[in-house]
Chain A
Amino acid sequence: MTPNDAHQPLSRDAAVSVRDLRKTYADVTALDGVSFDIGRGETFALLGPNGAGKSTTIEILEGYRNRSSGMASVLGIDPHRGGVDWKARIGIVLQTSAEAGNVSVREQLSHFAGFYPNPRDVDEVIAAAGLTEKAKTRIKNLSGGQRRRVDVALGIIGRPELLFLDEPTTGFDPEARRDFWELIRDLKREGTTILLTTHYLDEAAQLSDRVAVIAAGCLVDMGAVDEIGGAEARIPIVRWRDAGGIHEERTHEPAAVVARLYAQRGGELHDLEVIRPSLEDIYLELVRDAATEVAA
């Protein structure tokens, strides 16, 4: 979406629609005009370094924070005015877990299920979150990763149309992360719209239909995971070293370049590499460019 889209009306069909969202604290600009739409059933990931504005954006959409200016619509409602009926249609997994020390996993989920008009089955959710063996354990006695799964379970117990996941897998071991991805794919198959923030690019790549990269309060790029940064950013790089230092050449024909260099030098090249930029490389480049722009 280009900056001009900030002036387009909110999309009524989208699950989430945001236009020119701004948030300023006393002397800090946390969000500096962000616009995007999330379609129904879409999984959308917000990527960005710490302090870029991911959590500010998600908390405005969850109704926890007021925006300074701009427009926002979540399931057709202004989140600032969202009432109990609106909250029954969303699920929230906050960045930090709440202490819910003295109740068991099942007690907590059964209690929260009662808040919603059409909740999921408590035992099914416990199983989906991989907590069946811990169902009778008090939450305070769980490990950090297990508590995080309770958070996720609480986020989906109400059968939300839209699920907010704010860095959901922080502290998970690799196996737990894969189980979690399966759970999210199941939700997706059921048609749940998901807004995810994460530090893990592989997670975004695994789960999301589209990603948006946010840096210093601005949207740097947005698109399918294999498209962000543009085609240019994906052109392979040939890198080698000689007496003059390290050289790089971007090319669609790396083999030809290597052959040419080999012919020119008449021998092996030092530290020769052919690099296909990974999502991480592209992401880091986007974020770095944004930082330089802000500095300039």
Chain B
Amino acid sequence: MKTVQLGISRIGYEVKTYYRQGDTVFFTFLFPVVMLGIFSVAFSGLGNVGTNPDGTGGITQAAYYLPGMIAAGILLSGVQNLAVDIAMEKSDGTLKRLGGSPLPVISYFFGKMGQVLVTSALQIALLLAMARLVFAVELPTDPAKWLTFLWVYLLGIFTSAVLGIALSSVPRTGRSATAVIIPIVLVLQFISGVYLAFNLLPEWLRNLASVFPLKWLAQGMRSVFLPDTFETIEPGGDWQYGWIAVALVIWLVLGLIACRMTFRWIRKDR
């Protein structure tokens, strides 16, 4: 009971400190929002995407990029945010201090998960609001689509958070954390259909991207936010919900195992 109560207290503390950190707010929280704005404006001259042969129909660039940016936001809020955050806490002594206090490890992670959930939910709300209000993107009205969104989002955010915690033990120092983590996350975004249309990538690159979770997350989000007519141009020929679930669950389990094996309050010597 105390563990849960402390976990909730940690969520408040974590969310508060998250928004007080200028660089995190920009590079993790606002980044997808800024990118959606840039892509929508920069490519608006190219006209709609997926038009009929006679030039009618199709969707705006903003509508086309929205699902990718939501997927990227989930990755950033989980992986990038936590990997850098925890690596910093490890090197600046925060974890050592917490490790000497009676805070249970579970409550600490509860706080981190809560922070990720709260900030990513706000981020997605901001993305959707901007898409709808600034770029007049039609959002899905079918409840079934929102149900799909919910499970893909929840599975995606938990997987991202767990992988972020696991990756936090890779950088040797807090200072090198961003230099180690950001390139990984950036490359994934380029090969997983966030910035570049996934169906236009060479097959070997698509196969490579399919090993990682972001590709599946982006695919799931496309299935929610793009019209059904886009299903046929997916490399797989359909949205592949089964594979999305399988891929994300596998990464979730791998991440949990890695966390269990690598996380320590401090680098304890033998």
B270 touches A84 (CB 8 A): no
Asked if A145 is at the interface of the complex by the 8 Å CB criterion, the answer is no
Assembly CA distance A102 to B21 (angstroms): 7
Whether the Cβ atoms of B102 and A111 lie closer than 8 Å is no
Contact indicator B94/A98 (Cβ below 8 Å) = yes
The answer to whether A100 touches B102 (Cβ under 8 A) is no
For B10, give the chain A residue with the smallest CB separation: A111
Residues of B within 8 A of A85 (CB): 102
**Does B59 touch A at the CB level, under 8 Å?**
no
Inter-chain contact A62/B100, CB cutoff 8 Å: yes
Q: A63-B100, A99-B94, A102-B21 are in contact. Are A25 and B13 (CB under 8 A)?
A: no
Contact status A103-B97, CB under 8 Å: no
Q: Is the CB of B96 within 8 A of A111?
A: no
Q: Closest Cβ of chain B: how far from A176's Cβ, in Å?
A: 21
Q: In the complex, which residues of chain A have a beta carbon less than 8 angstroms from the beta carbon of B21?
A: 102
CA distance A257 to B62 in the complex (A): 99
- The answer to whether B232 has its CB under 8 Å from any CB of chain A is no
Given contacts A87-B101, A103-B16, contact A98 B269 (CB under 8 A): no
Q: How far is the CA of A66 from the CA of B264 in the complex (A)?
A: 14
CA distance A294 to B221 in the complex (A): 69
Give the residues in chain B near A114, CB-CB below 8 Å. 6, 9
Q: Could you tell me which residues of chain B, from 107 to 165, have a CB within 8 Å of some CB in chain A?
A: none
Q: Quick one: given A64-B96, A64-B99, A97-B93, are A25 and B9 in contact (CB under 8 Å)?
A: no
Complex partner residue of B92 from A66, A98, A111, A158, CB under 8 angstroms: A98
CB contacts (< 8 Å) of A98 on chain B: these are 92-94, 96-97
Which of A92, A96, A103 makes the CB contact (< 8 A) with B13? Answer: A103
The reply on A94 being an interface residue by CB < 8 A is: yes
In the complex, what's the smallest C-beta–C-beta distance from A158 to chain B, in angstroms?
7
Residues of B3-34 at the interface with A, using a CB-CB cut-off of 8 Å, are 6, 9, 13, 16-17, 20-21
Across-interface contacts of A66 in B (CB, < 8 A): 268-270
On chain B, the number of residues with a Cβ less than 8 Å from chain A's Cβ atoms is 22
- Given A25-B269, A65-B269, the answer on whether A96 and B93 have CB atoms closer than 8 Å is yes
User: In the complex the two chains form, what is the Cα distance from A66 to B99 in whole Å?
Assistant: 14
Identity of the chain A residue whose Cβ is nearest the Cβ of B17 in the assembled complex: A102
CB contacts (< 8 Å) of B104 on chain A: these are 84
Residues of B within 8 A of A84 (CB): 102-104
Q: Does any Cβ of B come within 8 Å of A142's Cβ?
A: no
**Residue B266 at the chain A interface, CB threshold 8 Å:** yes
Distance, CA A114 to CA B12, complexed state (A): 13
A115 interfacial by beta-carbon distance below 8 Å: yes
0/1 interface trace, chain B 154-194, chain A, CB 8 Å (1 if under): 00000000000000000000000000000000000000000
Interface string of A91-130 (1 = CB under 8 A from B): 0101011111011000100011011100000000000000
**B268 in contact with A64 (CB, 8 Å):** yes
A88 to B16 Cα, complex, angstroms: 25
Query: How many angstroms from the CA of A25 to the CA of B270 in the assembled complex?
Result: 8
A137 to chain B, nearest CB (A): 13
Identify the closest chain A residue to B20 (Cβ). A102
Q: How far is the CA of A85 from the CA of B103 in the complex (A)?
A: 10
B-facing residues in A43-67 (Cβ within 8 Å)? 62-66
- Cα A239 to Cα B102 with chains together (Å): 56
Q: Determine if B93 and A115 form an interchain contact, defined as CB atoms under 8 angstroms apart.
A: no
Chain B CB within 8 A of A154 CB: yes
**For the complex, what is the distance from the CA of A84 to the CA of B3, rounded to whole Å?**
11
Contact in complex: A92, B100 (CB < 8 Å) = yes
Interface residues of chain B, those whose CB is within 8 Å of chain A, are 6, 9, 13, 16-17, 20-21, 92-94, 96-97, 99-104, 266, 268-270
Given A64-B99, A90-B100, 19 extra CB contacts under 8 A: A62-B100, A63-B100, A64-B96, A64-B100, A64-B268, A65-B268, A65-B269, A66-B268, A66-B270, A87-B101, A87-B102, A98-B92, A98-B94, A102-B16, A102-B17, A102-B20, A103-B20, A115-B103, A158-B102
5 closest Cβ contacts across the A-B interface?
A: A98-B93, A102-B20, A88-B102, A99-B92, A92-B100
